[in-house]
Structure 1
Amino acid sequence: MFKFIFVLLVGVAIGYGYGWKDAQNNVKNVAERVVERIGGETRERMGNDVDTRYQAGDSR
């Protein structure tokens, strides 16, 4: 049980340090940057604005 708690505390300390350094270097947090990187190319195609799709002639 002690080993589990020790590993958990070490992981939290490392994660906190990484997050602190990341927050000092970047305005957006990690989750926002990952979502932008993954969904950046297909974001326009995934919209649900019916009027824009109808005007563009998209029948999906």
Structure 2
Amino acid sequence: MHIEPTVDRFRVFYQLHCEQGFYSLAQRPTTKKILLSPPMSFHDWKPKFFYIKAE
């Protein structure tokens, strides 16, 4: 769609979610799904954790 991904745009669709001390990203309930069939896993994507940093 030729739209540059930014942290602000990402935050429109997802929010930080904490459950039992574990953090994850959850889709905001008021937005449309941007992935109709999300992947089940990301094998060999990154060997460690990653951060999303707003600048």
Q: Same fold (TM over 0.5)?
A: no
| Larger proportion of helix | 1
| Larger proportion of strand | 2
TM-score normalised to structure 1 length: 0.21
TM-score normalised to structure 2 length: 0.21
Q: Which has the higher contact order (CA 8 A, sep 6+)?
A: 2
Please identify the structure whose Cα radius of gyration is greater.
Answer: 1
